[in-house]
Amino acid sequence: MSIDISDGIESGSVDITVLTTNSVISTLLTNEKFGGKVIQPQSNGSKLFGEHGLAMLFEIRKNGESKKILLDTGGPRGSAIENAAAMSIDFNEIDKFVLSHGHVDHYGGMMEVFPKLREGIDVVISPSAYEQNMILIPKEERKFYTPEELSENYRDLRKQDAFLFELKLPPFKKALVDKYVGEKNFNLIEPTAPEILLNGMAISGEIELFDRNEVSNGFYLMEGRKDFLENTFRDELSIYLNIKGKGLAIITGCGHAGIVNTIKHAQKITGIDDVYAIIGGFHKEWESPEDVKKAVDFIQNLNPEITCGMHCTGFEFNRQMADHPSHAFGISGTIFHL
């Protein structure tokens, strides 16, 4: 399915503020190479908090008016709320909310954020966001277990201490969303296909898997207590903007469907090949250096002006990407002026 954002948004009319991510640095200077397109909080970073989570605020200006869209609410420690207050950001001014996917590090601040949103706004959440997720990372350098292996042998593998990391994620409950939809009269939108958010701005819908090997390993869906299913992250939503004269700005929550898949999906559904900026979580932290290099090579060949992998992206991606002129650091309080 295609979607038309060809009218675009004027360059210089979009600000994306990182409300929270994993890192806080008070000594990170704004890099002059970006010409004011990536602005760091510098000493103001000492007022901000980080946690394992992500939240970003978009402000789009057109014809003297401003629209604000919130992507995610960060984790359950409330850093998005604390940082918004420190940056004088008023949640009551937000026009739309988008949840990138149903993991607690992205919806964890919802119970604090949603009461502060004004009534009647659009709330965009995939209908697949409520599925039970489990993370199982095997020890040593074996391949990740298949869902079939886990369904048959999970208890035995636990007894054998086979997992380096094992976590059943707190379930994202639809009852929580329905509660606020009822109390605040939110307009709940549950997309599976791409949809327009604003002129020149769209959400991805379910991201096409051009390369299934790029999907985040170690994540499974669960049915009942012992049936494991393949997780292809049908709940993941990314945001695509067309910046006039520049190309696509691609914004991800975690990029579990694969950052290359996410970019190719954006190009396919919009018909726009040029990529201007890639910002968000890319979830490369559990991948081999060889697999990370495939994504780095793909992005470098696109030659965007800004590439910022934060949150779950991992050290190896940023190490390999560091020499490319588009590479930027994203911390709590970073502002991208697109």
Question: What are the tens digits of pLDDT across the range 116-145?
Answer: 999 999 999 999 999 999 999 998 777 899
Residue 282 C-alpha from the chain's centroid: 8
Residue 45 confidence (pLDDT)? 86
The pLDDT of residue 47 is above 80: yes
Q: What is the 3-state secondary structure (H, E, C) of 278-312?
A: EEEECCCCCCCHHHHHHHHHHHHHHCCCEEEEECC
> Which pTM does this prediction carry?
0.95
Strands (E) in the chain, as ranges, are 14-20, 38-39, 55-62, 65-71, 96-98, 122-124, 133-138, 163-168, 187-189, 195-198, 201-203, 219-223, 227-230, 239-243, 247-252, 275-281, 306-310, 335-337
Q: Identify the CATH number of the domain defined by range 14-337.
A: 3.60.15.10
- Contact residues for 301 (Cβ-Cβ < 8 A; gap 6+): none
Instruction: Using alpha carbons, select from 249, 92, 95, 119 the residue that is nearest to residue 181.
Output: 119
pLDDT at 44: 87
Average pLDDT over all residues of the chain: 95
pLDDT tens for 73-86 read 999 999 999 999 99
How does pLDDT run across 221-277, given as a tens digit for each residue? Answer: 998 878 999 999 999 999 999 999 999 999 999 999 999 999 999 999 999 999 999
| Percentage of residues in the chain having pLDDT higher than 90 | 91
Tell me how far apart the alpha carbons of residues 41 and 57 are, in angstroms, rounded to a whole number.
15
* Dist. CA 59–CA 285, nearest whole Å: 30
pLDDT at 33 over 90: yes
pLDDT on residue 104: 96
pLDDT tens string 263-292: 999 999 999 999 999 999 999 988 989 999
Q: What is the C-alpha to C-alpha distance for residues 96 and 137, in angstroms, rounded to an integer?
A: 36
Whether the Cβ atoms of residue 336 and residue 15 lie closer than 8 Å to each other: yes
Pairwise pLDDT comparison (1 vs 96), residue with the higher score: 96
**What mean pLDDT do residues 171-181 have?**
94
The pLDDT assigned to 143 comes to 82
What's residue 63's pLDDT? Answer: 85
Computed over its alpha carbons, how large is the radius of gyration of the chain? Answer: 19
Question: Worst-scoring range by mean pLDDT, 43-57, 92-106, 134-148, 177-191?
Answer: 134-148
pLDDT at 336 over 80: yes
d(C-alpha 254, C-alpha 311), whole Å: 8
Helical pair 289-302 and 259-270, crossing angle rounded to 10 deg? 30
